[in-house]
Amino acid sequence: MNSSEKIRQFYAALHRAYGPQHWWPAETPLEVCVGAILTQNTNWKNVERAIGNLKAAGAMNLEALWRLPPEELAELIRPAGYYRLKAGRLRNFLELVVTRFGGSLDRLFELPTAALRETVLSVRGVGRETADSIVLYAAGRPIFVVDAYTLRVAFRHSLVDQDCDYDLLQETFTSALEADAKTFQDYHALLVQVGKSHCKKQSPECDGCPLAALLEPGEPREPY
């Protein structure tokens, strides 16, 4: 079985096991953007606290966020870690929207998909995963999001090498599927789900894993 077939079978198995995911956990597109930056190398639970602080401060809207003094913004997002760094990154993103799109996320999201990705990616502090998360989950465009879970699951099932480049991993999944935003959203969410429950960094719990039946002899590999 080639890797494209595997990727399609993984999706079918995950979808059967967990059902449709309706991800990203956020109420608005702006909240997706904020969460995408805050969750960089950080547990989502910590991000929830930070987002809770922003909402409690009435700052989960573009104007209020932009007006907030950088030090106050940093304090509010402190639970998410790297808080001084991330305050700057959030402001870099807000600055793009304010100065080039009249403070309107909708205007930014009017760009064609490729241009949108490049524009978001041009923000300092927004790398490929963060940009792709924004494009897929906030703008609803069919760009496949790659993250640590994607790599781990793909590696343990011999789809790619463990030091596989982001672009190659992304292309591997993209080329196996129809370019559909809902499908990409669902698939990425399912990979996070199975990653958290079964495909952990230091001990794959293959008992009960929806993908266990698709493992070949010798898999999974450890560590990572």
Partner DNA sequence: CACCAGGCAAGTA
Partner DNA sequence: TACTTGCATGGT
The distance of closest approach from Cβ of residue 87 to DNA in the complex, given in angstroms and rounded to an integer, is: 8
CA atoms within 13 A on the CB side of 56: 8
State how far the Cα of 58 lies from the Cα of 24, in Å rounded to an integer: 21
Question: Segment 19-58, which members bind DNA (CB under 7 A)?
Answer: 23-25, 35-36, 39-46, 49
**Of 220, 108, 117, the residue nearest 167 (C-alpha):** 117
The distance of closest approach from Cβ of residue 179 to DNA in the complex, given in angstroms and rounded to an integer, is: 20
The distance of closest approach from Cβ of residue 115 to DNA in the complex, given in angstroms and rounded to an integer, is: 18
170 near DNA (CB under 7 A): no
Select the residue interacting with DNA from 10, 90, 147, 190 (CB under 7 A): 147
157 near DNA (CB under 7 A): no
Is there a contact between 120 and 134 (Cβ–Cβ < 8 Å)?
yes
Stretch that binds DNA, among 61-69, 105-113, 175-183, 195-203 (CB under 7 A): 195-203
State how far the Cα of 124 lies from the Cα of 138, in Å rounded to an integer: 19
**Of 223, 203, 208, 211, the residue nearest 157 (C-alpha):** 211
State how far the Cα of 6 lies from the Cα of 132, in Å rounded to an integer: 23
Give the chain's end-to-end CA distance (angstroms, integer).
Answer: 23
The distance of closest approach from Cβ of residue 193 to DNA in the complex, given in angstroms and rounded to an integer, is: 9
Phi/psi of residue 122, nearest 5 degrees: -75, -10
78 near DNA (CB under 7 A): yes
**Of 3, 16, 5, the residue nearest 190 (C-alpha):** 16
185 near DNA (CB under 7 A): no
- Radius of gyration of the CA atoms of the chain, in A: 18
137 near DNA (CB under 7 A): yes
18 near DNA (CB under 7 A): no
Select the residue interacting with DNA from 79, 204, 210, 220 (CB under 7 A): 79
220 near DNA (CB under 7 A): no
Kindly list the residues in this chain that would bind DNA in the complex (CB under 7 A).
Answer: 23-25, 35-36, 39-46, 49, 78-79, 81-86, 123-131, 133, 137, 147-149, 192, 195-196, 200-202, 223
